[in-house]
């Protein structure tokens, strides 16, 4: 019985050395056939566009087409780096993402620690359902709700402030206020959802550790500091490194749904500039160049983040 | 011994209760912050104009009326956007699932030669892409501009979902089960349809939801690709123009009186667009949580 079941598995390693690719193609043609379809999609919709990156090095004219346009060398990039808008977009992208990291990254940890202290499963579940909700809304809806709540003229928050005798605050119509609102809305949207991974890591902690700490006279705070936090350290480090790898990214949808004409100082980020230069004004070469600049920095950051993670003994991301 | 334990436990327990209540209070406050904005918008959408203009609506409708909703259901362009969104979401989800399964099943088989290379081809797209403009020009060259296919096809392959599916297939399907099927003479198609897919229903439900909600909520690609065919605008894009840019006015019936204040109408459109998500949310939430956990487990 044992020999019979072992024979097919023993069979293939012996053959493997001698067979060429044609053998596997014939044996597993169904697998190759299946993978063709997604492969075709990836090639057409992900890899084919990458060839379009060459226009970052060309003086692209729609009339002359993709290949007919003249090569421009690094001229497009030189022009790009000289643009004040470019400097501002890079600054804003980094600023918004780093600030986002400070708040949107830390708040889920705090909230997860709080939720972990709750013993009643029912209480936890009801609150988690509500806390996860904002994650499921589109940025358009969140933007619309934000204006309903925070606008200067009729926003309910300002109505309350006025009722309590304060003066109305232009939360979304003034540069610094907009920045703060942008961050707060980001925390609001992602805080609950971000707790999931931490809560999962916390549920894996051996309860005996807490019991032993209680016997030793450790208080609640002490247990959080000396048991819970060290236990989720690996998770925090991994997620932090992944987040650091993304500081050059930027959600176009989030910023575009929250921006308005009154504030432009912080809303010009790289994706917004790509949209404005490329799709709105038709300057494809320059818009592609700034997109490529972002992608290259992005992939360098991801690779370095992965290296750092592996050096620290955590799981990498690649 | 017993007496000592009891004596030290009593004050300790009292202290814990205070802390626990405090923590509960903080959590309830945070939950309310997540919930109250909706309640306000819903209240506003059900209030009459005069109360909204006077800034008197907080968490309960004032001067209850469903007039705004009546107007939305009379507005053909909004209903059309909803219809477009539903069509696009359904097509996108079906296609996305087909692509994910077609990629994940071969890549989860150990005997599949070339699997490392193909996996790399797929996963590389997670970290590097042509970017907005090359994608835009590609869609243009393929002649997909201003068609619903520009919203269905390009994003339907998701490397992230593939990774989740592959992980689930590798770890979730017992190898012995598949081997016995092979000994019985079943080919790959047969194994896929009779064994692998029926066993993967939960993960398929999760991924289908990821695809569907992602598509339902996205508006960036529609903003880029649906430019002239206004009738093809999905709901989120319609909402963007109506509420955020406010560049488009509601197509009110000629006989109806022009609203003096669009705020009520805006609020009701927001509720209208959120309602489908809110209706399915309680049922699908647990699948999403599972999906996040699977996504966190790498390869």
Please check the confidence at residue B257 and state whether its pLDDT lies above 70: no
Q: CB contact, 8 Å: A32 with chain B?
A: yes
What number of C-beta contacts closer than 8 Å exist between A and B? 259
Give the nearest partner residue to B217 out of A21, A41, A138, using CB atoms: A138
pLDDT, tens digit, 9 for 90 and up, residues B151-210: 999 999 999 899 889 988 888 788 888 888 888 888 888 888 888 899 888 889 889 988
pTM for this entry: 0.87
Q: What is the pLDDT of residue B31?
A: 95
Q: What is the pLDDT of residue B2?
A: 40
Between CA A45 and CA B252 the distance in angstroms is 40
Cβ neighbourhood burial of A224 (10 Å; 0-12, 13-18, 19+): middle
Please check the confidence at residue B4 and state whether its pLDDT lies above 90: no
Give the nearest partner residue to B41 out of A145, A256, A292, using CB atoms: A145
Please check the confidence at residue B86 and state whether its pLDDT lies above 80: yes
**Please, which residues have CB within 8 angstroms of residue B234's CB and are 6 or more apart in sequence?**
B81, B84, B85, B88, B151, B219, B222, B226
Q: What is the pLDDT of residue B232?
A: 93
CA atoms within 13 A on the CB side of B27: 29
Contact A133 B138 (CB under 8 A): no
* pLDDT by position in tens, chain A (length 318): 344 444 444 445 545 555 678 888 888 888 999 999 999 999 999 999 998 888 888 888 777 777 777 787 788 888 889 989 899 999 999 999 999 999 999 999 999 999 999 888 999 999 999 999 999 999 999 999 998 899 888 888 988 898 888 888 889 888 899 999 999 999 999 999 999 989 988 988 999 999 999 899 888 889 999 999 999 988 898 888 888 878 888 789 999 999 888 888 888 899 999 999 998 888 888 999 999 999 899 889 888 888 888 888 776 666
Contact between residue B106 and residue B192 where contact means Cβ atoms under 8 Å apart: no
Q: Which of residues 83-122 of A touch B (CB under 8 A)?
A: 111, 114-115, 117-119
Contact B133 A37 (CB under 8 A): no
Q: What is the pLDDT of residue A106?
A: 94
Residue B27 token pair? 């959590």
**Distances B199 to B1, B191, B195, B196, B271 between C-alpha atoms, Å:** 55, 11, 6, 5, 38
Please check the confidence at residue B146 and state whether its pLDDT lies above 60: yes
Q: Which of residues 2-21 of A touch B (CB under 8 A)?
A: 5, 8, 12, 21
Q: What is the pLDDT of residue A6?
A: 41
Between CA B180 and CA A11 the distance in angstroms is 16
Nearest alpha carbon to residue B34 among A155, A144, A189, A116 = A189
Between CA A149 and CA A141 the distance in angstroms is 12
Q: What is the pLDDT of residue A263?
A: 83
ipTM over 0.95: no
Query: Once rounded to an integer, what is the mean pLDDT over residues B262-270?
Result: 87
pLDDT, tens digit, 9 for 90 and up, residues B9-49: 445 555 557 888 899 999 999 999 999 999 999 999 998 88
Between CA B237 and CA B220 the distance in angstroms is 8
Q: CB contact, 8 Å: A298 with chain B?
A: yes
Please check the confidence at residue B110 and state whether its pLDDT lies above 50: yes
Burial B190-222 (b: 16+ CB within 10 A, else e): ebbeebbeebbeebbebbbbbbbbbbbbbbbbb
State the angle between helix axes of A75-82 and A84-104 in degrees (0 to 180), rounded to the nearest 10.
70
Please check the confidence at residue B259 and state whether its pLDDT lies above 70: no
Residue B49 token pair? 């104009």
The DSSP secondary-structure symbol of A133 reads G
Q: What is the pLDDT of residue A317?
A: 63
Contact A137 B266 (CB under 8 A): no
- Better pLDDT: B53 or A132: A132
Q: What is the DSSP string of A108-131?
A: HHHHHHHHHT---HHHHHHHHHHH
């Amino acid at each position: 019985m044992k020999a019979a079941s072992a024979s097919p598995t023993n069979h293939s390693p012996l053959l493997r050395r001698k067979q060429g690719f044609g053998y596997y193609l014939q044996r597993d043609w169904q697998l190759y056939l299946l993978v063709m379809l997604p492969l075709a999609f990836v090639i057409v919709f992900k890899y084919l566009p990458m060839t379009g990156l060459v226009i970052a090095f060309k003086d692209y004219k729609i009339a002359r087409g993709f290949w007919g346009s003249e090569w421009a060398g690094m001229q497009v990039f030189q022009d790009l780096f000289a643009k004040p808008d470019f400097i501002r977009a890079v600054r804003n992208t980094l600023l918004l993402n780093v600030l986002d990291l400070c708040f949107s990254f830390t708040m889920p940890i705090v909230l997860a620690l709080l939720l972990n202290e709750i013993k009643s499963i029912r209480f936890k579940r009801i609150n988690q359902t509500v806390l996860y909700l904002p994650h499921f809304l589109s940025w358009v809806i969140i933007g619309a709700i934000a204006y309903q709540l925070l606008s200067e003229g009729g926003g309910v928050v300002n109505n309350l402030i006025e009722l309590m005798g304060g003066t109305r605050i232009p939360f979304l119509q003034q540069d610094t206020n907009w920045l703060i609102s942008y961050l707060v809305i980001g925390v609001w949207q992602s805080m609950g959802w971000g707790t999931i991974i931490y809560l999962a890591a916390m549920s894996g902690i051996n309860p005996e550790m807490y019991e032993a700490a209680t016997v030793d006279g450790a208080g609640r705070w002490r247990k959080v500091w000396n048991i819970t936090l060290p236990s989720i350290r690996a998770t925090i480090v991994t997620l932090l490194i992944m987040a650091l790898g993304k500081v050059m990214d930027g959600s176009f949808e989030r910023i575009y749904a929250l921006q308005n004409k009154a504030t432009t100082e912080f809303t010009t980020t790289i994706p917004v500039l790509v949209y404005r230069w490329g799709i709105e004004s038709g300057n494809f070469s320059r818009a592609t160049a700034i997109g490529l600049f972002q992608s290259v920095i992005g992939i360098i950051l991801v690779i370095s983040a992965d290296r750092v993670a592996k050096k620290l003994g955590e799981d990498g991301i690649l | 011994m017993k007496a000592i334990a009891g004596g030290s436990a009593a004050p300790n327990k009292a202290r814990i209760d205070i802390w626990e209540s405090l923590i509960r209070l903080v959590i309830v406050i945070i939950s309310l912050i997540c919930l109250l904005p909706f309640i306000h918008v819903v209240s506003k959408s059900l209030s009459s104009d005069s109360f909204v203009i006077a800034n008197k609506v907080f968490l309960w409708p004032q001067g209850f009326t469903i007039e705004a909703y009546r107007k939305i259901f009379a507005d053909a362009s909004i209903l059309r956007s909803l219809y477009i969104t539903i069509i696009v979401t359904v097509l996108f989800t079906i296609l996305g699932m087909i692509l994910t399964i077609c990629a994940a099943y071969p890549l989860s088989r150990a005997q599949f030669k070339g699997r490392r290379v193909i996996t790399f081809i797929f996963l590389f797209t997670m970290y590097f892409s042509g970017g907005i403009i090359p994608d835009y020009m590609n869609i243009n060259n393929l002649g997909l501009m201003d068609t619903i296919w520009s919203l269905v096809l390009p994003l339907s392959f998701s490397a992230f979902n593939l990774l989740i599916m592959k992980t689930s297939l590798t770890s979730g399907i017992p190898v012995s089960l598949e081997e016995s099927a092979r000994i019985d003479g079943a080919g790959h198609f047969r194994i896929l349809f009779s064994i692998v897919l029926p066993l993967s229903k939960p993960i398929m439900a999760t991924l289908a939801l990821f695809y569907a909600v992602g598509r339902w909520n996205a508006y960036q690609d529609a903003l880029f690709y649906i430019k002239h065919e206004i009738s093809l605008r999905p709901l989120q894009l319609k909402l963007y123009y109506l509420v955020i840019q406010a560049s488009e006015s509601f197509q009110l019936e000629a006989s109806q009186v022009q609203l003096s204040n669009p705020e009520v109408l805006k609020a009701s459109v927001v509720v209208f667009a959120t309602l489908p998500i809110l209706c399915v949310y309680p049922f699908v939430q647990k699948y999403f949580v599972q999906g996040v956990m699977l996504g966190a487990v790498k390869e």
